[in-house]
Each structure stands twice: as C-alpha cells, then as structure tokens.
Structure 1
C-alpha cells in the first residue's frame, strides 16, 4: 500500500508512461571497469586483464565483455589495437578529449574570441590565488624554468605564443583545481592560435615594440612567481588579473568581433 504522503508521486497522472530502463549487462561491466580506472586500480598505460579472466570475474560472455570494452573505448578510457594480443590498454584522457567538442560548441554558438579571453580572466587569477597557498616550491621552480628556458626558446623560434600559452596553462594546472585546469585546457588552442596570429602581425609591423612587449611579458611572469613564492594570495590575484586585462586589451584591439570559428578554420 502506498503511503499517503507519497500518493501524489505514484498517481498514474504524474507518472511517465515510459518504463525505467534496466541497464544492459555490458553497461554494468563497463561501469565497474570505469570505476576501477577512476579509483586508480587501473592506471594509465595498464592493460586490462585477459578476456578469459574478465569473463570469469564478471560471469559474462565474450560478446558482452567486448561490448563493455567498446563502451570504454568510445569514452576514450581504453585503446584497443585490433589484432594485438596485448588487449585493451588504459589511456586516461586529458583536457584534449573535451577541447574539440567544446570548441565546436563555441563555433556553433557564434562565440567571439573576446568571450574566451574574458572567461580566462575569471579562471587564471583565481588559479594564481589558489597556487599561492597550495603550491609547492617545486611548482614555482617549474614555472620559473618555463620563463627562463621555454618562453625564450619559443621566442627564438618565432613561436612565442606557444611558450607564453604553455605558462598560462601550466600555472592553472599546478593550482591543483581540476575543474579550472580542464576549462583552461579546453580554451588553450583558441587562445594560442589567436595570440600567435596577433604576435606575428605585430612583429612584422614594429619589431622594436614587439621586443619591448616580450620583455614586459617576461617581467610580469617573474613578478607573479615572486608573489607566489611569498604566499601573497591577494597580490598574486591582483597582479595576474591586471596582466590578463592588459593582455586582452592588447590582443583584441580592433579584433573584438572575431569569432572562434574564424580562428579554428
């Protein structure tokens, strides 16, 4: 008998006519394997146990097991080399898995590059604040190495955008906030491509001004690292927010209406 308190919920008028779907056995097996990957019992690069072991463990048939593996393959959690005796290999995905679909959504929505740069202003200063309190000296050393080696090397190779973009992305990743890192990774290609196009144009137009901007970028990154090492959360946030606003102003001047699809075509 249905409790009166729940009677409205079970009133036929309020219940959807479509029955609740019972998950297929293959989906349940995939769910268990997915949880093993998420929990770290199966790590990036590991091979799944042999089919016979998995069939016995889950008490399923070979077709059911292979369907479960295909589910994980479609999610980019495993990689299957056809004809290989080694079986399926775990491949823990990074932000690149969602970057392309996210970029496509931005293209379809008519988003501008300005939208993306404004979003970064909400992400990166916050990441800098977190990093200043949660980061380690090794984290700060890594950022310093990027400034000392990677950015100058990229500059020398006429690919400064790659070096500076790497610094921005790595700073967010080192903050330890996975959500911020994933979002930053999704936007990385868009901002790097746009930055590269603008830098290339500026370097051809005024080499001296371009070099001055490069030196300013280096100084700003060093200033951030100094604030991070001092554990100055408010200072790191304020400095990087100003840096991001200045970068947006410079990189979007007369380009405010450029759409994401124009960058990724």
Structure 2
C-alpha cells in the first residue's frame, strides 16, 4: 500500500477589510423624506409631522430630526416656519435652488473667469431663442425696463451693472425654463463678481451694450428665434473677448509694478 501524504499546509494571511462608510442618521432620514417629496407623496404646501411626532415615528433623536429638516431646507424642499403655527412645509424646488447649487460649484471649484464666459456663450444664445418662442408681454416689459437704465447716461456704474444682470436674467426668465434660469442666475452674478468692472465699463461699453440689448429685445419681441439666438451669440462673444483682453492687460500691468 502506498502511504497517504499529509495535506499541504495552507499559508494563513490576515483578512483585510476596507473601511466602511456608515451614513449619518440625519442623512438617511433626509434622503427618505426627499424621495417621498420628489415622488409627490407630500404635495407642495403639505405640513410635515411636528418635530416631536417625527422623533416618535422614526425613533431618532431630536437633534437628528432637526438636522435632517435643515438639510431639506437648504435644498429648497421644505420651508421651516417658527411660532405657534410653524413647522416644516413642503415646497417645490425652483430656479433659486438650481442657482444656489451652481453658485456653490463655481465658488467651491474656484472656476476661472474664462470657464464662466465659455459656459455663458454656450447657454445664453439658447435662452434668447427660447425667449423669442415663449415670451409674454410682462417679459418684454422687464427687458425694456432694464435696458432703459442701461441706456441712461446719468446712471451710476452700480445701476448699470445691476440693470445689465437684470436684463440677461429677464431673457432667461422669458424662456420659462427653470433650469436655464437657475444656471443663468448663478453664472451672471459670478461673471460680474469676477470682472474688474471699473477698468472694463466705459461710455463706449455702455453704448455698445445698450444697442446690442435693443437689437436682441427687438428679435424677441418679433418672435424671431433665429435672429435672437444669432444676435445674442454675437453679443456675449464680443463681451467675452473684451473682458479677457482687460483681464490680460491688468495682469501685465500688475507684473510691471
């Protein structure tokens, strides 16, 4: 008989486990409520259960419940009111929620001015096209009101800049697309905050801006989508080129100093 060989010894290695990310209880509760709101289980205006009742239902601590509601408030899904008739009330997310998120992205990533200008050149002509298709009489009034300030030679620089932003946002709102309006709100404010407006805006820029806006507004009024898109594309491209030239010139002057 042949001898039976003993089993080969198996080398033993310690088991390696990866760290596990355990979600916070407040995130879990906020995620559950968010999904139910977005699915329409809680229509806008619905009052969520009082804080004490949420604590009893979820068996989570009061601090956890408050933090979850705060998350939803920041995301624009609930409005929290204080007082005897207060509480957390469901609301629909709108363009302001989009603008807030985009603003955080722009500031958090510290995006370059050229990135913002390129994004604007891509988006805003589409906004003008939609404005020409869907504008109302109220939209036209908003465009004309903003442009009247832009064309006023006695308006201050702050008045001009504020009216300029108002006009561009009025174009976006005239398209009645909440997503684009949110993008343009964040984008316009970031661009003007990043631009050396004192060095850039002079009488010639004001005049050119006023003429361009009047031309685009006329196309929107006439519901000429192609012309509105073409004129807006030319306007924002010319603006981007001028801003970049000023920024480069400023950097050179600073380097000389």
What TM-score, normalized by structure 1, do the two folds share?
A: 0.67
Query: Is the 8 Å Cα contact of residues 220 and 228 (structure 2) preserved in structure 1?
Result: yes
- Per the TM alignment, residue 237 of structure 1 is displaced from its structure 2 partner at its CA by 0.5
Q: Whose relative contact order is higher, 1 or 2, with alpha carbons under 8 Å and at least 6 apart?
A: 1
Q: Deviations over 1:9-45 (max 9, x none)?
A: xxxxxxxx999x99979846753466437858234xx
Given the alignment of the two structures, is residue 67 of structure 1 paired with residue 68 of structure 2, yes or no? no
Given the alignment of the two structures, is residue 103 of structure 1 paired with residue 95 of structure 2, yes or no? no
After superposition, where does 1:225-264 map in structure 2 within 5 Å?
A: 225-256=217-248
- Per the TM alignment, residue 113 of structure 1 is displaced from its structure 2 partner at its CA by 0.9
After superposition, where does 1:43-122 map in structure 2 within 5 Å?
A: 43=45, 48-51=48-51, 59-61=57-59, 63=60, 67-75=64-72, 76=74, 77=76, 78=78, 80=80, 84-85=83-84, 86-88=86-88, 92=93, 93-107=96-110, 111-122=111-122
* 1:156 alignment partner in structure 2: 155
- Per the TM alignment, residue 142 of structure 1 is displaced from its structure 2 partner at its CA by 1.7
- Against the structure 1 CA distance between its residues 258 and 201, is the aligned structure 2 distance closer, same or farther, given a 3 Å change threshold? closer
User: Could you say which structure has the larger radius of gyration?
Assistant: 2
Query: Is the 8 Å Cα contact of residues 100 and 186 (structure 1) preserved in structure 2?
Result: yes
Q: Distance in 2 between matches of 1:163 and 1:25?
A: 42
- Against the structure 1 CA distance between its residues 22 and 254, is the aligned structure 2 distance closer, same or farther, given a 3 Å change threshold? closer
Query: Is the 8 Å Cα contact of residues 55 and 65 (structure 2) preserved in structure 1?
Result: no
Q: Distance in 2 between matches of 1:157 and 1:37?
A: 44
- Per the TM alignment, residue 192 of structure 1 is displaced from its structure 2 partner at its CA by 1.3
- Per the TM alignment, residue 184 of structure 1 is displaced from its structure 2 partner at its CA by 1.9
- Against the structure 1 CA distance between its residues 23 and 99, is the aligned structure 2 distance closer, same or farther, given a 3 Å change threshold? closer
| Structure 1 residue ranges without an equivalent (≥5) | 1-16, 204-209, 260-265
- Against the structure 1 CA distance between its residues 212 and 176, is the aligned structure 2 distance closer, same or farther, given a 3 Å change threshold? same
- Against the structure 1 CA distance between its residues 22 and 112, is the aligned structure 2 distance closer, same or farther, given a 3 Å change threshold? closer
How large is the RMSD of aligned CA atoms in angstroms?
3.8
* 1:36 alignment partner in structure 2: 37
* 1:184 alignment partner in structure 2: 184
- Against the structure 1 CA distance between its residues 233 and 158, is the aligned structure 2 distance closer, same or farther, given a 3 Å change threshold? same
